[in-house]
Chain A
């Protein structure tokens, strides 16, 4: 006779409610696991999915993702001229918040050389890559745009010609690919009225400083924005080219910083992602501890509730093994059922999360093992209480 199951059957409603409660707590742990991995996965997605050997950025900067980097757009020509470089492309990346698909959204604009340059969308799930110099875009599906939709950015409209899936920047924001010049325009160009105001202010300042009208007209373009800058130059090396040598040449001759994709990845993991990973890791550990404490308390309460029955069983000669099995089995049923419930909840909801959740099977299994062992260990409180209960408790009123 399985006493644990008989007891559960008697309180099946209460037990299910307990499983749901503990299961929801466990599902938060699994979601935190997913966010933890998703944070890392998002953080390096763009680096991992940009087919480049070297990232050339502003000297002394850890850009373009971990830190801001601005270099002259034309730098790519100088980089391309370095021995061992097969291809060099300008690259721009920045985060904006605009109204897209009827809602305010934060997303990252990626500008790249659409005519054979590096840094474009790796895999397009619908439509085609950008084929024109202007006013075409490839958007991630998370933005809610469809093929043929137009979106207004800056002073122009852009037509969505291709869609990507799960293409995100380091913050988990969906990507919008534009041609390099379109991206620069969106980043630096103001609308006509603002541009006019800025131009008048500059003109006034130059005239006040004593410049003639003709000189002012000549100088005005030189005072304009930094639309001729990019964030990085992406480099593909010739077969057999030495990465350290090419990197050293670029750093020495062009006075720029160079990182391999692995170094760029490490910059992100040890920099921007590290603190978040530590916070999420701490939350995970705390949630696991809280869950185990709650399981321990529940098992203890379940044991205390039937302490007189346990005393009676001991009095009529039940061995300690029977008593331990009664408590341990309930702990296992509670832990396993709750984890199963948590797993189902996460499977049903993870696609709807605003952040990317990456659920790794080995991590889910590890969580299960932690909960299983922890659940059994925490039932020790109940077991010790039961074993210490004197059979004489069954006597008397």
Chain B
């Protein structure tokens, strides 16, 4: 195990979709200050599958919150799609708008809107982004077809299985054709078979749509074939070569 690989060279960095440099997050002040992230740096390229592993309290959720532009870091730099988003402070960009146009989210508990059916759960992400409802519904149906769920389009989340719910959530994450998908423990509430299927689907999406997928997980069995695997230990990002080798073998 060694510290995270250094940033790509300048030419490589230009290829990156996500570039994080020297990210720090400190909670509290003075003697009570807790450094949750310590000089975290990494970059992700289009179509790359990246996994973040770590035990509870290691800082992986804080990192996810910071790089998904939900929580403000204490210092460092975040660049996405070539746009500087955070440079020791927000750069003035409308982060909520940036999020809906460029980032897709997949959650541990699926987080489908309970009063919307499968089609509308996908369409809402597009409508929020200004897509006309007719076009949004058409694309939602296409995505459901892509996810083998076309026969469940009118079903409410309550009557979908866990695997189906997670596939609808993936559809919603893909709705606005994002360049980045953040997945927070996407298989935690699924059994091994369904979890594996979801991860296979994410790999397929990364390859076919050149979408960078950053997954936070604690289950190393689910990240087989991932391009990059990071461990977070006490707020520091380290590459676990053993895990990387075993999963890419």
Any B CB within 8 A of the CB of A317: yes
Which one of A117-125, A353-361, A387-395 is at the interface?
A387-395
Our pick among B96, B100, B105, B124 for the contact of A1 (Cβ within 8 Å) is: B124
Measured between alpha carbons, how far is A313 from B133 in the docked complex, in Å? 17
Q: Are B188 and A397 in contact (CB under 8 A)?
A: yes
Q: Are B99 and A315 in contact (CB under 8 A)?
A: yes
Any B CB within 8 A of the CB of A306: yes
The verdict on A317 contacting B123 (CB below 8 Å), with A1-B133, A309-B114 known, is: no
Q: Are A1 and B120 in contact (CB under 8 A)?
A: yes
Measured between alpha carbons, how far is A36 from B70 in the docked complex, in Å? 55
Which residues in A have their C-beta under 8 angstroms from that of B188?
397
Any B CB within 8 A of the CB of A322: yes
Q: Are B96 and A396 in contact (CB under 8 A)?
A: no
The verdict on A315 contacting B120 (CB below 8 Å), with A392-B70, A395-B64 known, is: no
| Interface hits, A9-23 → B, CB 8 Å | 9-11
Any B CB within 8 A of the CB of A316: yes
Which residues in B have their C-beta under 8 angstroms from that of A314?
96
A396 CB, nearest partner CB in chain B, Å: 6
Q: Are A391 and B184 in contact (CB under 8 A)?
A: no
Q: Are A395 and B61 in contact (CB under 8 A)?
A: yes
Q: Are B111 and A312 in contact (CB under 8 A)?
A: yes
Any A CB within 8 A of the CB of B185: yes
Which residues in A have their C-beta under 8 angstroms from that of B97?
317
The verdict on A316 contacting B133 (CB below 8 Å), with A6-B115, A392-B70, A397-B188 known, is: no
Our pick among B96, B107, B124 for the contact of A395 (Cβ within 8 Å) is: B107
Q: What number of A residues sit within 8 Å (CB to CB) of B?
A: 26
B132 CB, nearest partner CB in chain A, Å: 11
Chain A residue nearest to B189 in the complex (CB)? A397
Chain B residue nearest to A390 in the complex (CB)? B70
Q: Are B107 and A313 in contact (CB under 8 A)?
A: no
Q: Are B116 and A6 in contact (CB under 8 A)?
A: yes
Q: Are A9 and B61 in contact (CB under 8 A)?
A: no
Q: Are B65 and A395 in contact (CB under 8 A)?
A: yes
Any B CB within 8 A of the CB of A319: yes
Chain A residue nearest to B158 in the complex (CB)? A10
Chain A residue nearest to B71 in the complex (CB)? A392
Any A CB within 8 A of the CB of B25: no
Our pick among A7, A308, A315, A322 for the contact of B105 (Cβ within 8 Å) is: A315
Any A CB within 8 A of the CB of B48: no
Chain B residue nearest to A314 in the complex (CB)? B96
A393 CB, nearest partner CB in chain B, Å: 10
Contact mask for chain A residues 306-334; partner B; CB cutoff 8 A; 1 contact, 0 none = 10110011111111001000000000000
Our pick among B64, B71, B120, B128 for the contact of A313 (Cβ within 8 Å) is: B128
Listed A/B pairs (17) with beta-carbon separation below 8 Å: A1-B116, A1-B120, A3-B124, A7-B115, A10-B114, A10-B156, A11-B115, A312-B107, A316-B125, A316-B128, A317-B97, A317-B128, A317-B129, A318-B96, A395-B64, A395-B107, A395-B184
- Contact surface of B with A, Cβ cutoff 8 Å: 61, 64-65, 68, 70-71, 96-97, 99-101, 105, 107-109, 111, 113-116, 120, 123-125, 127-129, 133, 136, 156, 172, 184-185, 188-189
4 A-B pairs with the lowest CB-CB distances in the bound complex, closest first = A317-B100, A10-B115, A7-B115, A312-B111
